[in-house]
A and B are shown apart, each in its own frame.
Chain A
Amino acid sequence: MNSPQFGRLYFVIIGHRDQPLFEFEALKQEENLSIPREDYRHLCQFVAHAALDAVEANLTGPTGTQMFFKNIDRFNEWSVSAFVTTSQIKFLLLHPVRDESQSALRKEEADIIRNFFFAVYEHFIKLMLNPFYELDSEITSRGFREKVHQSVKKHLLNL
């Protein structure tokens, strides 16, 4: 399996049955698409799915009351950060791992990701208030996708 490229981001919202409700892949603008995206898609899903175990281990542990978990899992160059809503919906973000030398940036990174998660959480709450959205169903709202896209652009493109 090829290792993932830096700069790729994969965001997924996961429901109560471990099913993905919403997937979003982001590329940095300067990135060229020389490597087909299809090769990564299943790997992204595998990594995110496997990271759920780590999220749940954190939830049952002493950190169980937290919402944001930074770098709970890691695969090759990817790091997984998670956010768990009060209704136990999980947001996962796969992002590239920083080198140890950039420790200053790493601290900043946690804030960036946290802000991103909270921005998406806000949109998600609004979506949940929509009477036509059923809990645990796939999110097909174009408006939501648009908003997540904006949040990615706003928060994560410097990541």
Chain B
Amino acid sequence: MAQSPISPKEVVQDCFPPRIACLWSEDAEEICRKNNLSVLQLLLPFCRPNAEMISSDLTNRRFYMKNFSLHLSTVEHAVPPNPTIARNLFHDAVAEAVDTFKPEEAAQLEVPLRDGTLIVSATTPWFDAFRDEYMRHFPICDYECIRDFLGCIFVVSTAVLDPITKAKALIEQQVQQQANQKYPRWFGPNILKFFIVLEDLSASTDESRVRGESAMHYFTSTYGEHNCWLLKINSRSPKDELDPWTTFTPFSRRRAGKVEADDAIVENGGDEGDGQGDGAVDDGPADHPLATRKSSQKSPSKVTEVVEIGKLLGQEDGERIRECLVAFTTKCLIPYAERQIRILNELIISKKGIHRTLVNATKKIFGPSGPPKPAQRASSTSNLSQVVYAGEAVELQNRKAGDLSFMFQLYDQAFQFFQSARRDYSADQAWNYYAAASEMCGLSAFLSPTAGFSSVNAKGFPIQYFEAAIKSYSDVSKTSPQSVRAIILATEVCKALHLYAEAAAFFKNRSPEDFDLLYGLFLEQAGHCFLRLPQAQSPRRFAFQMIFAGFRYFKAAQRKLGIFVYQLALKVLDGRGWIVAEDHIRLNIIRHCMTLRMFQESMPHFVSLLTGAQRQVPTQQVLILRDFIACHSILCGDEPVQQLCLPVIKMQNIRTVLGRPGEVDSHVVEVIDEEWLNLEEKMLETKGRSSHVFRHQQIVYSDRTDNRNRPQASVGDTVTIEVPMRNPIGVAILISSVRLEYEFHSKPAHTPPADGRASLEITGDPTELRLAPLETAPLTFVVHLGQSGALLITGMSYVLSVPPAESEAALRIPCRQKFAIQGARLNQSKQEKMSVLHGPDHRLDITVLPARGRLIAKWENFPRGVLSGQVVRLSLIVENQGGRPVDHLSIAASLPDVLVFLHSPKADNVVTLQIPSGSIEPGKKVTIIAVFVAPPVPGSYCLKTLLYYETAVSGDEKEKAAHRHQVWRMQHSFEVLPGLTIRGSLLPSVASRDEVIVNLQIAHVNEIQLQAIPLKLIEILSVNGHWRIDNLADQDSGDGAILTAEETFLTLLGRRVSEKLDDLSAFPVPAELDTSDMNFIKAARNLAGYISGNPAKPTRDPNAICLRLLWKVTLTSDGKPTNVYGLRFITFTVEQADAGGVACWDLRNPLLPQVVPDIAEILARPSNDPFTTSFLNLPVSAEETSNFDVIDWKVELPADEATLPRHLSVIVPLVVQLTCNVHVGSELADAADVLVSVELRTAVKCFPVGSRRQSVLLRQGAVTRLRFDYCFTASGTYNMAEFVFVKAVCSVIPELKVAKLQKPSDNQMLLRIG
């Protein structure tokens, strides 16, 4: 529990002072009224006599009394207020203590946490206030006599003629009261009487002096010489500068002050509760009637009233009053008490003989001994609590003697009396009396000077007295005020003895009840106990208790206190991820802060609630936001909010694009990969611009790029900044009036912007952005640069508004957020690897260079899907958006043979573009024609093209060469679909050594997109001028159209010519060429020089036969036919060994064909060639990787050639011979069966008849034949290998677990239909 300015001993002693009643006559009141005081108020400040008091016990041992005080009160006030009023008083006392509490001034307690230290204030003045207040208004109960009046002071004055009569009347009044009324209670029938005769010196006459002396004489003779006092007051002269009342300190200023307040409440403006009393109620302790100066300065309106207090009282008067009370205590009260103790003791001893022995004997025989068991008590609570002793009962004598001893600090003696009283009550089963006596036993033991309990010997302290007391009280009544008092006192004792765990147990022991304030205070104190546990300080339990205490405080409408304790709890929980708990605390704090209009305190809590994840429901979030805005507008007016991150700006995802917003979205290359860097480096090398440190140029700066270098823009450029933002809350928000905040330093300094433009123009796009719940959307700023220098973008400001709900005003609040981007994590040195370090990020720190040219280029008509070998005419549109002309345009592409720029020199893959006028002026557009030739291999491709340019330099202008060249990147992805495949073989001609026969096999392999669309062959072109080609085929090859899955065979004769032909030799495939194809035929001749086809075999080699196959497809889109053209190329090398011209054809086996694979197959094969490496990612089908055949098969063709009747079809029987051929080497292979299935395919001109698929089980070495019928509808040569599919499944061979296509040995089985 918390510290208190008063030590626990004092607390306990202050609870039980000797109580003396006070009665006075109207004339005495009249005299005091001159000072605006009542008689009681006059005496109260002197109730704590400083003089040494000595009391002696029964054995005449003498004890010095420390901290002794008297409790004076009027008879009426001794009646406790009713519980409701009392509770209000408690609330007021607590609220007042909270209001005056200054945490920064209070003592602090430091508790170590897991990380850091928890600092809480060590004092809780509201608890002290409550405790004092509770003790003051403690109801009178029968179980104790310690709160009864010991005596009465009668005050009369000499102002009336007969003070003795007045005194007699007062005595009569007291006697009547004692006899007739239940409250107040008096200690015994024979109470102590003390008389004070007031003499008003300011109005004293000889007559009154004589009256006083005679009265004194009467009282002395009647009641004893120590029982009366002649008190002279009002002696202050106007010249007396010294104010006697400022030097006096009441023993408890607040308590003395509160007497007035209570008087006013209890008596409802009675005889003395006039304006003075009311003032005290309103203004709290500062308005103690005697604390004049302070309050007179504070409230001028009360000056007249307040200054009058004590105006006739001088220093001497104070001394006299003190003297009077000291004399009363030492000479009258203490001897009286000692006398009473002796009398009571004698009574007890005299009764002991008979009573004790009798009772003890009975008890020993019939009853249980020692303290009762809880169970017994619980079962018989109802009737046992009924035991009530009469006022003068014998059983109370022990208690009374104990009480008297306790009051006069004879604690050992008191302990003895209480102990025997406790035993008696236990025997009588008077549990309330028993509890009260136990409580007093504990207190006496604690205060006992001989036992001397302290924190050192705390273990020996009989804490069980308190436990028994609280238990007994609680058993009788759950909510008895006695048990509350017992808990308060017991915990004070525990605090003094440092028994904090026990104290916490006492506090928490209290069962829930309706008195929330009390419960809250107890819980809070329990929490403070946890902080002070000697072995294990428990800050987390403390936090838990604070939450409960706060909850109770809120229920008890002690909001400020509730907020205070919630904040303490938050200190422990904050930042540890207990988000639900934390939000609960924050929500409560905000709610009550708003009620109390404590806006400053609530601000920090809003931010964490509003920017957190989806933890509250949307309606609540709106309420929080509404409160926040209201709060902010009250505190800061129209100033923008800085700390609110709403919407959340995704700082890391901010993008800076050097270009206009519209044109840059899809074409701009963001990620600069290795391929781009190679292209750029190579380009710079070619251009002679390479330096030893290669630094690439960027257009986009984002979280995916390297932002160690500042973006470089030039004057006249437009920079786009994209700021993505997210709405974290559950309601839509609208941001408007968006402005970018920046710093701009012109370079050179103070240069006026060129051509009168502003140095910067910033526009937001859109200026308003509406974000749905949890939506993320970007906000785009466009910055026009008008002057060179350095531009640093620091943040943005905007107006945040929440669309209004029905019948509510829209919420608007200006906000400002700073941009803070964290750079990439460093991972170079060891230190960087060991720790987490981040590099700089310069994407918002833009360098503005003087005006340069600036090109934006894009492809027009760039295809997304093409057939392999398709040729497309493209145009590259280049626009200069910069302020200066550009020249030296060059282009490099990642796929070398795909783009062809006619009439442009090409060196090392870098094409220097020819511009008609030599340079591109600002604002001009140039279109450059290029030809796109699709790669032969199907698949997905990405074409990266890098455009290089330089800003033109005019005359002797010298500029930094480093900034002159720039690059522009274009990246396009496209898909190549299969179209034609071409393969061929070379046969030596028998006729001539300079002649070769070329067999070409051309197949239509696109079965998906061109399923029913024929590919038409146009022409075969030889691009090597050393060779002339002719068609050898005698038959008519039709219109050259091939349908899906069909093949065409062409046989050519290649003849070497001695002189190089000027014209390329070619022959058309169809009988007649379509005139519309002539353009393409011409273009193909132009292209011939630019595409080598196979880089390993250049077209100029005289031994190479380079053939081009031109084709076209007529596609119909929207009912309109479109021609798509393309070309395929194939190159053969004629082997010629010796230079002497002797041909060395291998004539021994002239029929062995030299198979030249299709270009596609070459490309599919991995090699180190840079061209082919770019295709490495192409999928390679499983058929090609495995050459594992277990079945040899062939089609047994019919002996005689079938001829096709005109306009009819012919059915040819086919026999497929299968030979099982398992070569695995395992023994199991012999026993294994191979399941073989044969399937015939349907093509356009041929199809199977009858069974289409047959399956058979084969063993090793087995041969079987399967018969099929196949129908042909057109004459020609068919490769049956294309139509027959043989698949094998074998359980033994792992590769054959799934069906595997078996290929014939040479993949060719030709069948000719005449």
Give the residues in chain A near B583, CB-CB below 8 Å: 42
B113 nearest CB across to chain A (Å): 8
Q: Across the interface, do B581 and A42 meet the contact criterion of CB distance under 8 Å?
A: yes
Q: Does A122 contact B (CB under 8 A)?
A: no
A19-B577, A138-B577 in contact; A46/B538 too (CB < 8 A)? no
Q: Does A141 contact B (CB under 8 A)?
A: no
Q: Does A45 contact B (CB under 8 A)?
A: yes
CB-defined interface of B747-781 with A at 8 Å, one 1/0 digit per residue? 00000000000000000000000000000000000
CB-defined interface of B30-69 with A at 8 Å, one 1/0 digit per residue? 0000000000000000000000000000000000000000
Q: Across the interface, do B115 and A46 meet the contact criterion of CB distance under 8 Å?
A: no
Give the residues in chain A near B544, CB-CB below 8 Å: 46-47, 49-50
Q: Across the interface, do B584 and A18 meet the contact criterion of CB distance under 8 Å?
A: no
Binding site secondary structure of chain A? helix
For B576, B580, B584, the residue with the greatest tally of chain A CB atoms inside 10 Å of its CB is B580
CB interface residues, B 583-601, toward A, < 8 Å: 583-584
Q: Across the interface, do A56 and B536 meet the contact criterion of CB distance under 8 Å?
A: yes
Give the residues in chain B near A19, CB-CB below 8 Å: 576-578
With beta carbons under 8 angstroms apart, the residue of A16, A44, A49 that contacts B540 is A49
Q: Does B1120 contact A (CB under 8 A)?
A: no
A17-B114, A49-B543, A50-B544 in contact; A57/B578 too (CB < 8 A)? no
With beta carbons under 8 angstroms apart, the residue of A42, A49, A138 that contacts B584 is A42
Q: Does A120 contact B (CB under 8 A)?
A: no
The chain B residue sitting closest to A1, CB to CB, is B551
CB-defined interface of B540-551 with A at 8 Å, one 1/0 digit per residue? 110110011001
Q: Across the interface, do B541 and A45 meet the contact criterion of CB distance under 8 Å?
A: no
Q: Does B539 contact A (CB under 8 A)?
A: yes
Q: Does B664 contact A (CB under 8 A)?
A: no
A138 to B576, CA, bound (A): 11
A42 to B581, CA, bound (A): 4
A54 to B1160, CA, bound (A): 75
Q: Does A41 contact B (CB under 8 A)?
A: yes
Give the residues in chain A near B547, CB-CB below 8 Å: 46
Q: Across the interface, do A18 and B540 meet the contact criterion of CB distance under 8 Å?
A: yes
Give the residues in chain B near A51, CB-CB below 8 Å: 540
Give the residues in chain B near A46, CB-CB below 8 Å: 543-544, 547, 581
The chain B residue sitting closest to A51, CB to CB, is B540
Q: Across the interface, do A57 and B576 meet the contact criterion of CB distance under 8 Å?
A: no
With beta carbons under 8 angstroms apart, the residue of B115, B540, B551, B581 that contacts A52 is B540
The chain A residue sitting closest to B576, CB to CB, is A19
Q: Does A7 contact B (CB under 8 A)?
A: no
CB interface residues, B 524-566, toward A, < 8 Å: 530, 535-536, 538-541, 543-544, 547-548, 551
Q: Across the interface, do A17 and B115 meet the contact criterion of CB distance under 8 Å?
A: yes
A51 to B543, CA, bound (A): 11
Q: Does A20 contact B (CB under 8 A)?
A: yes
Q: Across the interface, do B581 and A53 meet the contact criterion of CB distance under 8 Å?
A: no
A19-B576, A19-B577, A20-B577 in contact; A1/B114 too (CB < 8 A)? no
Q: Across the interface, do B576 and A18 meet the contact criterion of CB distance under 8 Å?
A: yes
Q: Does B1088 contact A (CB under 8 A)?
A: no
A52 nearest CB across to chain B (Å): 5
B403 nearest CB across to chain A (Å): 40
Give the residues in chain B near A44, CB-CB below 8 Å: 580
The chain A residue sitting closest to B544, CB to CB, is A50
The chain B residue sitting closest to A41, CB to CB, is B580
CB interface residues, A 22-69, toward B, < 8 Å: 41-42, 44-47, 49-54, 56-57, 60
A45 to B580, CA, bound (A): 7
A46 to B540, CA, bound (A): 9
Q: Number of A interface residues at 8 Å Cβ cutoff, please give it.
A: 22
Give the residues in chain B near A45, CB-CB below 8 Å: 578, 580-581
Q: Number of B interface residues at 8 Å Cβ cutoff, please give it.
A: 23
Give the residues in chain B near A138, CB-CB below 8 Å: 577
B1140 nearest CB across to chain A (Å): 71
Q: Across the interface, do A53 and B539 meet the contact criterion of CB distance under 8 Å?
A: yes
Q: Across the interface, do A53 and B573 meet the contact criterion of CB distance under 8 Å?
A: no
Q: Across the interface, do B580 and A53 meet the contact criterion of CB distance under 8 Å?
A: no
With beta carbons under 8 angstroms apart, the residue of B536, B573, B581, B584 that contacts A57 is B536
A57 to B578, CA, bound (A): 21
CB interface residues, B 1269-1283, toward A, < 8 Å: none
Q: Across the interface, do A50 and B577 meet the contact criterion of CB distance under 8 Å?
A: no
A16-B114, A17-B576, A56-B536 in contact; A50/B581 too (CB < 8 A)? no
Q: Across the interface, do A18 and B114 meet the contact criterion of CB distance under 8 Å?
A: yes
The chain A residue sitting closest to B538, CB to CB, is A53
Q: Across the interface, do A53 and B548 meet the contact criterion of CB distance under 8 Å?
A: no
The chain B residue sitting closest to A58, CB to CB, is B536
Give the residues in chain A near B114, CB-CB below 8 Å: 16-18
Q: Across the interface, do A50 and B540 meet the contact criterion of CB distance under 8 Å?
A: yes
Give the residues in chain B near A1, CB-CB below 8 Å: 548, 551
A50 to B584, CA, bound (A): 16
A138 to B573, CA, bound (A): 17
B277 nearest CB across to chain A (Å): 41
Q: Across the interface, do B577 and A53 meet the contact criterion of CB distance under 8 Å?
A: no
Q: Across the interface, do A53 and B536 meet the contact criterion of CB distance under 8 Å?
A: yes
A45 to B577, CA, bound (A): 10
A60 to B535, CA, bound (A): 10
A46 to B539, CA, bound (A): 12
A1 to B554, CA, bound (A): 12
Q: Across the interface, do B580 and A42 meet the contact criterion of CB distance under 8 Å?
A: yes
A117 nearest CB across to chain B (Å): 21
The chain B residue sitting closest to A16, CB to CB, is B114
A73 nearest CB across to chain B (Å): 9
Give the residues in chain A near B113, CB-CB below 8 Å: 18
A1-B548, A17-B115, A18-B576 in contact; A49/B538 too (CB < 8 A)? no
The chain A residue sitting closest to B548, CB to CB, is A1
Give the residues in chain A near B115, CB-CB below 8 Å: 17
CB interface residues, B 924-965, toward A, < 8 Å: none
A27 nearest CB across to chain B (Å): 17
CB-defined interface of B98-131 with A at 8 Å, one 1/0 digit per residue? 0000000000000001110000000000000000
CB interface residues, B 997-1051, toward A, < 8 Å: none
A134 nearest CB across to chain B (Å): 11
Q: Across the interface, do A50 and B536 meet the contact criterion of CB distance under 8 Å?
A: no
For A16, A49, A54, the residue with the greatest tally of chain B CB atoms inside 10 Å of its CB is A49
A12 to B1079, CA, bound (A): 78
Give the residues in chain B near A16, CB-CB below 8 Å: 114
B1048 nearest CB across to chain A (Å): 58
A54 to B530, CA, bound (A): 11
Q: Across the interface, do B578 and A20 meet the contact criterion of CB distance under 8 Å?
A: yes
The chain A residue sitting closest to B617, CB to CB, is A38
A105 nearest CB across to chain B (Å): 25
A57 to B536, CA, bound (A): 6
Give the residues in chain A near B535, CB-CB below 8 Å: 57, 60
CB interface residues, B 497-544, toward A, < 8 Å: 530, 535-536, 538-541, 543-544
B730 nearest CB across to chain A (Å): 14
Give the residues in chain B near A17, CB-CB below 8 Å: 114-115, 576
A16-B114, A17-B114 in contact; A49/B581 too (CB < 8 A)? yes
Give the residues in chain A near B548, CB-CB below 8 Å: 1
A18 to B578, CA, bound (A): 9
- Top 4 A-B pairs, shortest CB-CB distance: A50-B544, A53-B538, A45-B581, A42-B584
Contacts A42-B581, A57-B538 known; 12 new A-B pairs at CB < 8 A: A19-B578, A20-B578, A42-B580, A46-B543, A46-B544, A49-B540, A52-B540, A53-B530, A53-B536, A53-B541, A54-B538, A138-B577
Q: List 25 A-B contacts (CB under 8 A).
A: A1-B548, A1-B551, A17-B115, A18-B114, A18-B540, A19-B578, A41-B580, A42-B583, A44-B580, A45-B580, A46-B543, A46-B544, A47-B544, A49-B540, A49-B543, A49-B544, A49-B573, A49-B578, A49-B581, A50-B544, A53-B538, A53-B539, A53-B540, A57-B536, A60-B535
Which A residues fall within an 8 A CB radius of B? Answer: 1, 16-20, 41-42, 44-47, 49-54, 56-57, 60, 138
Which B residues fall within an 8 A CB radius of A? Answer: 113-115, 530, 535-536, 538-541, 543-544, 547-548, 551, 573, 576-578, 580-581, 583-584
